[in-house]
């Protein structure tokens, strides 16, 4: 196809852009945040960008090359990195693990993230670190807040407000006050949108309302010491276009404590320790957000919850002038329960039902990572990790359709010892850094693979094997006088890849099963930034991933197609302008009913292109106003990996959940 040829031409010319972390009110990002060191992307989530992301973490991540999102409605999509979803991608919020409660993935970890409430997002691609938990075969995403000791007493504040089509409005306010010895900070967010319309004018069941609040107080007696107590709370509701129920509650309660100390001795460079508690209480029902409600007999509700507690301690060591190391331990324990019934006021009110525990998970890991300057231009980085994992199946019965079956693995427990490690060599050239790394990681099955699915042979998938990934990463980062960029590629072999297959008939019921297969994936990301005359720049990015199910001899399910972004931007520090063309190829490699814990392949998708524009004005330092239009030509399209559209009363059913049509927005940022 012509679109394929155009994308391949871009690949021949593109390098992934290299840029330093932008300031809070920096230029509008019109293609993607860019790679600034090997396999690492850092970006400022407070900076405006196009296309304007939703309020949650997944839609923000999709602006980074290599990321896609599995769409379910207007919010709470699942992030996918290099074709890998779910627990293959570790998500940490200020170093904390948060795990959703919904067995249907209504609430992935990124559903509890309002990106602009954080100071920095860091993406570490591939199994090239062991510092941030087990099983990160696809990578790690860190949502982080910065705290710097104040030189003098004072108060800083910033906020933003965004208005857009389809009733979209986002608001965020943040205040930080402190002196040299102590500080307090707090932020609040609220985001709302109505049902959006696709390019054909059809409304999509996608409305949502969310709010969150975070607060922290810290003690900083000197430049090298920090002790912090924190808390967070959030809630909301969201309509979904891919299922028969909506999310009417997404309540999260969080408490955390953190300690940091630097320069303890010539050998002990630092120590970090933290502990946290996260509780998620989620309700999905068939009546709260559906027009006209449902008959009394259909007023069903499900109320899963999950309690996650954990901690982490890391010691930084200076083992000589050329060698640095980090060693540490982390642990996590989570309990999942649920209760089911009818709406309050009806017989079988779910709020009066007892909570029933169905699973318990524990993980304790020890790890070490070393960086050594091997020569004037060369560095070696490596790490090892050992995890002790335990899972308990608390289910007495399993529901299959209208039938209730005895659980063949009731009250059984499993223990696994999992190993991970990597080694990478980086070499500095005149204006670039080249690298090659080999990583291997073992990932234990998660709740959605062990508990929410059946196996091919029985009603329980509790015997699903851990997944083993071995991956080679290579790349080059370039930063010249004018052109800057990078290119990265990977090749991965997965033993016991955990495949989810839907539509499997058992008796009179269609079920989803988890089974282990062998798989191969490979791909690349690329892009560029090229300065033109004056304050103009040309930029672009490209991402591709290819997956094979080697056991069945078919395509690996839920692989996003080839994607390129080409943009141009102007910024003279007062006025700015940007244009973005996003081009996505057709995807003819698919296997119907195979995929991951979020969704499975439906069939072929055609290619599409979407064009967007934006402009901005900085009336003074610390103030910025931006506006734009996404999908200018009102294109009708859906992402290949999006979920299938469901029949919702009053809405047009579509093959997949279609994306937003023409979308106008305006956003203001202010600091003082």
Task: Report the share of the chain in percent with pLDDT over 90.
Answer: 84
The predicted structure's pLDDT at residue 17 = 32
Q: Are the CB atoms for 602 and 640 separated by under 8 Å? A: no
> Among 209-213, 413-417, 533-537, 636-640, whose mean pLDDT is lowest?
533-537
Whether 46 shows a pLDDT value over 60: the answer reads yes
Whether 522 shows a pLDDT value over 60: the answer reads yes
Beta bridge pairs of residue 440: 421, 470
Residue 20 pLDDT level (bands cut at 50, 70, 90): very low
Q: Read off the DSSP letter of residue 291.
A: T
Mean pLDDT of the chain: 92
Residue 263 pLDDT level (bands cut at 50, 70, 90): very high
Per-residue pLDDT reduced to its tens digit, 303-339:
999 999 999 999 999 999 999 999 999 999 999 999 9
pTM equals 0.93
Q: Which fold has domain 2-19+148-671?
A: Maltoporin; Chain A (2.40.170)
Per-residue pLDDT reduced to its tens digit, 122-172:
999 999 999 999 999 999 999 999 888 888 899 999 999 999 999 999 999
The predicted structure's pLDDT at residue 3 = 39
Whether 466 shows a pLDDT value over 90: the answer reads yes
* Mean pLDDT of the region 375-381: 95
Residue among 486, 570, 580 at smallest CA distance from 531: 570
In the chain, what is the straight-line distance between the N-terminal and C-terminal CA atoms, in Å?
52
Whether 15 shows a pLDDT value over 60: the answer reads no
The predicted structure's pLDDT at residue 10 = 32
* Mean pLDDT of the region 279-307: 86
Q: Are the CB atoms for 615 and 628 separated by under 8 Å? A: yes
Whether 293 shows a pLDDT value over 80: the answer reads no
Taken as a whole, the chain contains a residue count of 672
d(CA 245, CA 215): 33
Residue 32 pLDDT level (bands cut at 50, 70, 90): low
Retrieve residue 23's tokens. Answer: 């300031």
The predicted structure's pLDDT at residue 283 = 97
The predicted structure's pLDDT at residue 297 = 61
* Mean pLDDT of the region 601-612: 97
Burial of 373 (C-beta count, 10 Å sphere; 0-12/13-18/19+): middle
SS3 165: helix
The predicted structure's pLDDT at residue 55 = 79
Q: How far is CA 524 from the centre of its chain?
A: 19
Whether 5 shows a pLDDT value over 70: the answer reads no
d(CA 562, CA 607): 9
The predicted structure's pLDDT at residue 426 = 97
The predicted structure's pLDDT at residue 26 = 61
Whether 203 shows a pLDDT value over 90: the answer reads yes
Whether 383 shows a pLDDT value over 60: the answer reads yes
* Mean pLDDT of the region 517-521: 98
- CB neighbour list of residue 603: distance below 8 Å, 6 or more residues apart: 590, 592, 655
Whether 295 shows a pLDDT value over 70: the answer reads no
The predicted structure's pLDDT at residue 276 = 98
The predicted structure's pLDDT at residue 34 = 61
Beta-strand (E) ranges in 559-662? 563-571, 575-584, 594-595, 608-617, 623-630
Whether 91 shows a pLDDT value over 70: the answer reads yes
Residue 21 pLDDT level (bands cut at 50, 70, 90): very low
Residue 375 pLDDT level (bands cut at 50, 70, 90): very high
Whether 490 shows a pLDDT value over 90: the answer reads yes
Residue 14 pLDDT level (bands cut at 50, 70, 90): very low
SS3 297: helix
* Mean pLDDT of the region 357-362: 98
> Among 45-49, 438-442, 635-639, whose mean pLDDT is lowest?
45-49
Q: Which contacts qualify for 612-615: CB closer than 8 Å, 24 or more apart?
A: 612/30, 612/50, 612/51, 612/579, 612/580, 612/582, 613/50, 613/577, 613/578, 613/579, 613/580, 614/28, 614/30, 614/48, 614/50, 614/576, 614/577, 614/578, 614/579, 614/580, 615/575, 615/576, 615/577, 615/578
DSSP 348-415: TBGGGSPPEEEEEEEEEEEEEEEEEE-SSSEEEEEEEEEEEEEEEE--SEEEETTEEEE-TTTT-EEE
* Mean pLDDT of the region 97-121: 92
* Mean pLDDT of the region 378-392: 98
Q: Are the CB atoms for 523 and 83 separated by under 8 Å? A: yes
The predicted structure's pLDDT at residue 48 = 79
Pairing of strands 139-144, 89-93: parallel
Residue 24 pLDDT level (bands cut at 50, 70, 90): very low
The predicted structure's pLDDT at residue 292 = 59
The predicted structure's pLDDT at residue 8 = 36
* Mean pLDDT of the region 575-587: 96
The predicted structure's pLDDT at residue 80 = 97
Whether 484 shows a pLDDT value over 50: the answer reads yes
Whether 538 shows a pLDDT value over 90: the answer reads yes
The predicted structure's pLDDT at residue 25 = 57
The predicted structure's pLDDT at residue 563 = 97
* CA geometry: angle 265, 230, 59, nearest 5 deg: 105
d(CA 543, CA 256): 37
The predicted structure's pLDDT at residue 402 = 87
Q: Which helix (H) or strand (E) holds 57?
A: helix 57-61
Whether 16 shows a pLDDT value over 60: the answer reads no
The neighbour count for residue 652, using CB atoms within 10 Å, is 15
């Amino acid at each position: 196809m012509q679109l394929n040829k155009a994308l391949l031409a871009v690949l021949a010319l593109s390098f992934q852009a290299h840029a330093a972390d932008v300031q809070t009110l920096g230029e509008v990002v019109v293609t993607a945040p860019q790679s600034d060191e090997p396999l690492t992307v850092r970006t400022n989530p407070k900076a405006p960008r196009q296309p304007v992301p939703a309020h949650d973490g997944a839609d923000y991540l999709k602006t980074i090359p290599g990321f896609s999102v599995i769409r379910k409605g207007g919010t709470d999509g699942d992030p996918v990195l290099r074709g890998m979803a779910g627990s293959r991608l570790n998500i940490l919020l200020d170093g904390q693990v948060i795990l959703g409660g919904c067995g249907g993935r209504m609430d992935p970890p990124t559903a509890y993230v309002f990106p602009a409430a954080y100071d920095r997002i860091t993406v570490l691609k591939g199994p090239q670190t062991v510092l941030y938990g087990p099983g990160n075969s696809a990578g790690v995403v860190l949502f982080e807040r910065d705290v710097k000791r104040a030189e003098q007493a004072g108060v800083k504040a910033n906020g933003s407000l965004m208005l857009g089509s389809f009733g979209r409005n986002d608001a965020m306010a943040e205040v930080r006050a402190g002196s040299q010895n102590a500080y307090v900070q707090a932020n609040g967010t609220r985001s709302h949108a109505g049902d959006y319309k696709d390019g054909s004018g059809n409304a999509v069941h996608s409305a949502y309302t969310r709010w969150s609040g975070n607060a922290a107080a810290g003690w900083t007696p000197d430049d090298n010491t920090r002790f912090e107590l924190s808390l967070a709370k959030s809630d909301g509701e969201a309509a979904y276009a891919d299922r028969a129920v909506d999310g009417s509650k997404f309540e999260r309660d969080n408490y955390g404590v953190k300690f940091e100390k630097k320069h303890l001795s010539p050998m002990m460079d630092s120590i970090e320790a933290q502990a946290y508690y996260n509780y998620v209480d989620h309700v999905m029902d068939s009546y709260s957000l559906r027009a006209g409600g449902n008959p009394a007999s259909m007023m069903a509700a499900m109320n899963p919850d999950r309690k996650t507690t954990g901690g982490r301690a890391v010691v930084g060591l200076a083992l000589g002038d050329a060698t640095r190391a980090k060693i540490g331990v982390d642990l996590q324990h989570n309990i999942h329960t649920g209760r089911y019934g009818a709406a309050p006021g009806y017989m079988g009110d779910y709020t009066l039902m007892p909570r029933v525990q169905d699973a318990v998970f524990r993980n304790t890991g020890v790890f070490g990572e070393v960086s050594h300057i091997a020569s004037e231009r060369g560095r070696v980085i490596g790490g090892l990790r050992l995890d002790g994992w335990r899972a308990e199946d608390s289910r007495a019965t399993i529901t299959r359709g209208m039938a209730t079956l005895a659980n063949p693995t009731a009250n059984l427990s499993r223990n696994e010892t999992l190993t991970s490690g990597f080694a990478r060599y980086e070499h500095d050239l005149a204006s670039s850094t080249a690298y090659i790394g080999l990583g291997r990681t073992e990932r234990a099955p998660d709740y959605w693979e062990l508990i929410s699915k059946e196996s091919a042979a029985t009603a329980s998938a509790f015997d699903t094997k851990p997944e083993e990934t071995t991956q080679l990463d290579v790349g080059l980062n370039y930063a010249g006088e004018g052109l800057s960029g990078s290119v990265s590629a990977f090749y991965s072999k997965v033993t016991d890849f955990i495949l989810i297959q839907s539509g499997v008939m058992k008796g009179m019921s269609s079920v989803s099963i988890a089974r282990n297969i062998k798989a191969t994936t490979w791909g690349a990301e690329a892009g560029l930034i090229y300065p033109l005359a004056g304050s103009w720049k040309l930029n672009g990015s490209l991402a591709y991933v290819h997956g094979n199910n080697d056991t069945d001899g078919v395509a690996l399910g839920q692989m996003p197609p080839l994607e390129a972004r080409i943009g141009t931007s102007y910024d003279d520090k007062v006025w700015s302008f940007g244009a973005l063309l996003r081009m996505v190829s057709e995807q003819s490699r698919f296997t119907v009913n195979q995929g991951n814990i979020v969704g499975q392949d439906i069939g072929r998708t055609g290619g599409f292109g979407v064009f967007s524009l934006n402009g901005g004005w900085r009336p003074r330092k610390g103030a910025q106003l931006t506006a734009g239009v996404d999908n200018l030509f009102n294109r009708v399209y859906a992402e290949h990996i999006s979920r299938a559209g469901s029949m919702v009363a009053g809405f047009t059913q579509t093959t997949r959940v279609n994306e937003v049509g023409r979308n106008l927005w305006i956003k203001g940022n202010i600091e003082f």
